[in-house]
Amino acid sequence: METQTLAHKPIPVYVKSIFSALIPVLTLVLITVTLSAKNVPGGTIAALWIYLLIPAYYVVSRLLSGKQLLTFSHSNESHSHEYVPGDEDRYIVQSINHHLEHHESPVKKFVKVFWILLVVTLIEVGIAYSSLSKMTMAVLFMFFTIVKAIYIAGTFMHLKDETKQFIWTLVLPVFFLIWFIFILLTESGYLLGHRLF
């Protein structure tokens, strides 16, 4: 019987892999964004298909394997985070104490992330001074921005310590923004081509 509670495991591998997978995926998407800025609707077409095919693939594969579309289960039996109305304070104290017991002092980690953020910012400034092409720079800047955002949200905001489902809850809506910027860039590329001076 599994008695470990959900949140207090060491950071599971899948959370790590989500974070590491996000980087190439988002970079790919952002490269496409940049491409579509040149009034080439190809980027938007690709985005449209990625946008619709990923959920479609998910649905089809779940149905084919005979699973339910959404399972809200996460097998563990004793919940330290049981909800009883009126015990919010006790719960918070308990979960903080639990956290403190099972984690060594995170200050080292914070220092590390601080240096990473600083170095990445310096690299960005360095790239800005280099003679790379505008496009290459744009891709690199977006990449490093997302790296920094992930470190801030993941470590400083403790998002990495939250459950996988909560991370997805916050990350998934961002895809609407990616769709939004695709549309706006396709639109402004068209406007650029038709602008009268």
Partner 1 sequence: METSTQTQSTAVHSHTNDVHIHEHEHHHHQSFISKYIFSLDHKTIGKQYLITAIFMAIVGMSLSLLMRAQLGWPGEQFSFIGKLLGKFAEGGIIKPEYYYALVTLHGTIMVFFVLTGGLSGTFFNLLIPLQIGTRDMASPLLNALSYWFFFASSCVMLSSFFVMAGPASGGWTIYPPLSALPEATPGSGTGMTLWLVSMSLFIASGLMGGINYISTVINMRTKGMSLWKMPLTVWSFFITAILGVLSFPVLFSGAIMLVFDRSFGTSFFLPDGLVVADKLLNHSGGSPILWQHLFWFLGHPEVYIVLLPAMGMVSEILSVNARKPIFGYKAMVYAIMAIGFLSFIVWAHHMFQSGMNPFLGSVFVFTTLLIAIPSAVKTFNWLTTLYRSNIIFTPAMLYALGFVSLFITGGITGIFLGNAAVDIQLHDTYFVVAHFHLVMGAASFFGLFAGVYHWFPKMFSKMMNNTLGKWHFWLTIISLYCVFFPMHYMGMAGVPRRYYAFTEYEWTSMFTDLNRFISIWALIGGAAQVLLIFNFFWSMFKGKPATANPWKANTLEWTTPIKPVHGNWPGEIPEVHRWPYDYSKPGHEEDYIPQHIPYSETGSSNRKGDY
Partner 2 sequence: MDTTLSTSHAPAKTSVWSGGVRPFNISYGKMMMWFFILSDFFTFMGFLFAYTALKSSHPDWPNPDYVFKGFPLMGHHFNAPLLFVGTMTFILIVSSFTMVIAVDAGHRRDYKKTVKYMILTILGGAVFLSCQAWEWSHLIHGVKLSDTTVKMIKDTNGNMLRKEVPYAMVKLTDGIITVTPHTAILVKPLGEKITEEAGKAFTVSTNATDITLTPIGNNKPSAWMEFFNEGMTFGSTLTHNPFGQPLFSSLFFLVTGFHGFHVFSGLVILVIIAFNVYNKRYESRGHYEMVEKAGLYWHFVDLVWVFVFTFFYLLK
What residues line the site for partner 1 (CB under 8 A)?
41, 44-45, 48, 51-52, 55, 68-69, 72, 83, 85-89, 173, 176, 179-180, 183-184, 186-191
Q: Which two tokens stand for residue 190?
A: 């068209």
Q: Is 158 left (phi over 0), alpha (psi -120 to 50) or beta?
A: left
Contact region with partner 2 (CB under 8 A), list: 1-9, 20-28, 51-59, 61-69: 1-9
CA atoms within 13 Å, Cβ hemisphere of 38 = 9
Min dist CB 125 to partner 1, Å, is 28
Neighbour count for residue 33 (Cβ, 10 Å): 21
Min dist CB 190 to partner 1, Å, is 4
H or E segment to which residue 31 belongs? helix 13-36
Work out whether 104 is an interface residue with partner 2 (CB under 8 A).
no
Neighbour count for residue 45 (Cβ, 10 Å): 14
Min dist CB 48 to partner 1, Å, is 6
Toward partner 2, which CB reaches closer, 64 or 69? Answer: 69
Backbone dihedral angles phi then psi of residue 87, each to the nearest 5 degrees: -115, 30
The answer to whether 42 and 36 have CB atoms below 8 angstroms apart is yes
Q: Which of residues 134-163 bind partner 2 (CB under 8 A)?
A: 134, 137-138, 141-142, 145, 148-149, 152-153, 155-157, 162-163
Q: Look at residue 41 and give the partner it binds from partner 2, partner 1, none, a contact being a CB closer than 5 to 8 Å depending on partner kind.
A: partner 1
